[in-house]
Structure 1
Amino acid sequence: MADDVAPCTASGYLDPSYWDGRFGKEEHYEWFKDFSHFRHLLAPLLSPSLSVLEVGCGNSRLGEELLREGVTGGVTCIDLSPVAVQRMRDRLAEQGTSGVDVVVADMLDLPFESESFDLVIEKGTMDVLFVDSGDPWNPNPTTVDNVTKMLEGIHKVLKPGGKFVSITFGQPHFRRRFFEAPEFTWSVEWNTFGDGFHYFFYILQKGKRSPESNSHQVTLPAVPSFNMLHEELESEDYIFCTNVDEL
């Protein structure tokens, strides 16, 4: 990604005008790797009849990849940026691709009825809410409120038994406090992907939370704790710097 696309400060990612400006220049960018890197984790969750919501689609091609995987129950992609949405609509029209509905919407105020989707996916979208969060062990109240709003909306639009997939830099000891809040009924599993640097792939299934155990860990390798700084790593806009005191 070109250096002139990144904002001057990390908090710039929270400004909607930044995204309009960026998507006006940028044709395509995949946050946290493209579909090929996590297909082995996502494909087993897919079936033709699924209705899918992608939250914060930007200019990703994940929606098209889901169609290629045989999802025919409807794919809806949302983004806060009207520029991103129009450019994706134009791209799909030029390709003659149908089956993906692209909508301008706020992830903190999802405009869908309860129990509308079988699967909700976000890839790097929730991470934007953490760019100005302060201490990762004790995020500021605004971050907590916004992350909670996002998760409440996703929980609401999921059908019973539906799954929420979150692809993120966020480690379990930072994200479980949000995922396992008492108002949510989903189970929590996670895995990792990536060579050298690991990304986290969470699967939360609505209505499957066990009263005996809040979460189930799937072969999680030891990974050091990270704090977010505004630089680049492996073509990402975020870098998580090792906190040596916690090793």
Structure 2
Amino acid sequence: MDRTAAPGQSHTTPSTALAYLNPRYWDERFSEEEQYEWFKDYSHFRHLIHSHLTPNCSVLELGCGNSQMCEELHKDGATDLTCIDLSHVAVDNMQRRLLSRGLKDIKVLQADMLELPFGDECFDLVIEKGTMDVLFVDSGDPWNPKPETISKVMATLKGVHRVLKANGIFISITFGQPHFRRPIFNAPDFSWSVEWTTFGETFHYFVYVLKKGQRSSYEDIPVKRFEVPHVNLLHEELESEDFAFLINVDELNC
């Protein structure tokens, strides 16, 4: 992950991972930090995204923060682009930054991904990078997440599914491994197919491509559980990847 903030900037390090669930943390962080990329910058996964940016497609980015991904998507042809973030500080800063760069056609709105304020079937592509991972910070057992975690995740996914056009695509860039994410993505509420691939070197990041209306019958088969090593990283290791790691972590060893 590119942890380098803009020159003269540094991000606020939380005292506990649960701070990522507090909106005040993000407001404070975005007040101090000019730009930061979760899960590496766009150049590392562009080859996995570019083919889905069809001419004149409408794109929604969930949790834009202070990332430059929206600008890179715009360069790649996403001219009808809407970004949302829960933090009003992030939204205000992003609006100013885009205007200063002459990108007046990128819309930036304050909104909650759990309650998307858009009509049905209005986007060709919805994309998120590390945003949904925040919902898993306090999920408990990764094989059996807390009901409140599942409720929030499902609210987000149902909203995404609703705003996607027929044959629209949802791209989720995450640290969440397939044996944890596929059972959620394959819930009977959704008609999308689920494909995934990875990128990264030291850490592997997962890119899920969910195509609405293209679900195959075999995807209704429950995913077989298999064992993976329990992840329990030291705090400094976690900070090298920020909150991404927390999908499998119940408690930090500080």
TM-score, reference length from structure 1: 0.89
Aligned residues between the structures: 235
- Is 2:57 aligned against 1:47? no
Confirm or deny: 8 A CA contact 2:39 2:174 kept in the other structure: yes
In the TM superposition, residue 236 of structure 1 has moved relative to its aligned partner by 2.4
Q: Which runs of 4+ in 1 moved over 2 A?
A: 1-4, 212-215, 223-236, 238-241
Relative distance call for 1:110 and 1:226 in structure 2 (3 A) is farther
Name which of structure 1's ranges 226-235 and 169-178 shifts more when overlaid on structure 2: 226-235
- Is 2:115 aligned against 1:109? yes
Q: Where do residues 64-143 of structure 1 align in structure 2 (5 Å cutoff)?
A: 64-72=71-79, 74-143=80-149
TM-score, reference length from structure 2: 0.86
Q: Secondary structure at the match of 1:203?
A: strand
In the TM superposition, residue 48 of structure 1 has moved relative to its aligned partner by 2.2
Give per-residue Cα distances to partners, 1:76-133, cap 9 Å, x unaligned. Answer: 0000000000000000111111221000000100000000100000000010000111
Distance between the aligned counterparts of 1:194 and 1:117, measured in 2?
28
Confirm or deny: 8 A CA contact 1:228 1:239 kept in the other structure: no
2:243 — aligned with what?
A: 238
- Is 2:200 aligned against 1:194? yes
Distance between the aligned counterparts of 2:114 and 2:236, measured in 1?
26
2:34 — aligned with what?
A: 27
Distance between the aligned counterparts of 1:100 and 1:234, measured in 2?
31
1:17 — aligned with what?
A: 24
Q: Secondary structure at the match of 2:158?
A: helix
1:213 — aligned with what?
A: 219
Indicate which of 152, 169, 173 corresponds to 1:167.
Answer: 173
Over aligned residue pairs, what C-alpha RMSD do you find? 2.2
In the TM superposition, residue 10 of structure 1 has moved relative to its aligned partner by 1.0
In the TM superposition, residue 177 of structure 1 has moved relative to its aligned partner by 1.4
Relative distance call for 1:4 and 1:55 in structure 2 (3 A) is closer
Greater share of strand: 1
Relative distance call for 1:205 and 1:105 in structure 2 (3 A) is same
Q: Secondary structure at the match of 1:170?
A: coil
Give per-residue Cα distances to partners, 1:29-58, cap 9 Å, x unaligned. Answer: 111010000011001111221100000110
Distance between the aligned counterparts of 2:201 and 2:43, measured in 1?
13
In the TM superposition, residue 227 of structure 1 has moved relative to its aligned partner by 3.8
Distance between the aligned counterparts of 2:126 and 2:232, measured in 1?
25
Q: Secondary structure at the match of 1:78?
A: strand
Relative distance call for 1:239 and 1:146 in structure 2 (3 A) is closer
Q: Which runs of 5+ in 1 are unaligned?
A: 216-222
Amino acid at match of 2:75: R
In the TM superposition, residue 71 of structure 1 has moved relative to its aligned partner by 1.9
